[in-house]
């Protein structure tokens, strides 16, 4: 019974010679390795506003742009850094491997510990944000918010246990759906505003400003928004999971 259930959920064990087929290309590598980074889009901007709106009111949206710009600049630095890592470690190299080779054991263990905590928190925050989005759209599900979050975690666990090839299809479709939904939302908003002259209606009253922007306030908003940077590490770590030539695929990615 247990073996049948395991085979149904996880699939059969693969032989060594079959592992070479458990690789993905850029098309399906994007949703698997970028799902961490893409998921943070759902709540990174909100985290910035949670810091700024109570103090700045409507002016928070203006300062949010500058915080987001600083985060994008930091992202470019991270991308450039990991491009160098891909060139130097064609077989895969994340923070642990790179720091161990260049700085020693203790710094590498610190990096590994930070990554472990980061992965746990990313799953917790992402699934919680997802369940919050669902319950806000369907308030009748609000009492079941925790169960919905746990359900998502179970799906993520089973999907990853089934292997790279299966998980890339399982997570690929929702990720691409999310990307296209965001693009459609942006295009629709721009067309309605600039072409049809639609004025957005105010759903809630935003409080008036109670103070001015300060360096510490801006830095706190910047730090909260840096949740958008999660997941960049996964691209560098995932080189061995790409079809040959893996390094070329990773650079395209």
Query: What's the chain's length in residues?
Result: 253
Q: Does any domain span residue 9?
A: no
Q: Please check whether residue 237 is in contact with residue 244, taking contact to mean a CB–CB distance below 8 angstroms.
A: no
Total structural domains within the chain: 1
Q: Does any domain span residue 84?
A: yes
Q: Does any domain span residue 64?
A: yes
Torsions phi, psi for 114 (to 5 deg): -65, -40
What confidence tens digit (pLDDT) does each residue in 119-158 have?
Answer: 888 888 888 888 988 998 899 999 999 999 999 999 888 8
What confidence tens digit (pLDDT) does each residue in 190-216 have?
Answer: 998 888 888 777 666 766 767 788 889
Q: Does any domain span residue 18?
A: no
User: What is the C-alpha to C-alpha distance for residues 89 and 98, in angstroms, rounded to an integer?
Assistant: 8
State the sign of the Cα–Cα–Cα–Cα dihedral 62, 76, 24, 150: negative
Q: Does any domain span residue 100?
A: yes
Range among 45-49, 198-202, 218-222 with highest mean pLDDT value: 218-222
User: What is the C-alpha to C-alpha distance for residues 177 and 36, in angstroms, rounded to an integer?
Assistant: 15
Range of the domain at 127: 24-200+209-252
The pTM of the whole model exceeds 0.75: no
For the beta carbon of residue 136, count every other beta carbon within 10 angstroms.
10
pLDDT of residue 224: 87
Q: Does any domain span residue 11?
A: no
User: What is the C-alpha to C-alpha distance for residues 122 and 116, in angstroms, rounded to an integer?
Assistant: 10
Helix (H, G, I), strand (E, B) or coil at 144: helix
Q: Does any domain span residue 8?
A: no
User: What is the C-alpha to C-alpha distance for residues 212 and 52, in angstroms, rounded to an integer?
Assistant: 10
Q: Does any domain span residue 214?
A: yes
């Amino acid at each position: 019974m247990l073996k049948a259930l395991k085979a149904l959920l996880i699939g059969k064990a693969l032989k060594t010679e079959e592992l070479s087929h458990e690789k993905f290309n850029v098309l399906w590598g994007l949703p698997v390795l970028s799902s961490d980074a893409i998921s943070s889009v759902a709540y990174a901007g909100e985290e910035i506003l949670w810091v700024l709106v109570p103090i700045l009111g409507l002016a928070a949206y203006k300062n949010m742009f500058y915080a987001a710009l600083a985060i994008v600049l930091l992202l470019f630095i991270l991308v450039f850094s990991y491009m160098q890592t891909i060139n130097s470690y064609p077989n895969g190299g994340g923070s642990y491997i790179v720091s161990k080779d260049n700085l020693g054991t203790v710094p590498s263990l610190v990096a590994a510990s930070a990554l472990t905590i980061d992965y746990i928190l990313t799953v917790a925050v992402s699934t919680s944000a997802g369940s919050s989005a669902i319950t806000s759209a369907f308030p009748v599900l609000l009492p079941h918010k925790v169960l919905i979050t746990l359900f998502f975690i179970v799906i993520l666990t089973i999907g990853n246990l089934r292997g790279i090839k299966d998980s890339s299809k399982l997570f690929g479709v929702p990720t691409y759906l999310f990307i296209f939904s965001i693009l459609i939302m942006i295009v629709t908003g721009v067309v309605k505003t600039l072409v049809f002259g639609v004025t957005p209606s105010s759903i809630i009253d935003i409080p008036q400003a109670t103070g001015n922007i300060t360096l510490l306030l801006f830095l706190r908003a910047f730090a909260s928004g840096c949740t958008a940077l999660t997941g960049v590490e996964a691209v560098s770590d995932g080189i061995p999971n790409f079809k040959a030539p893996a390094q070329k695929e990773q650079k395209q990615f």
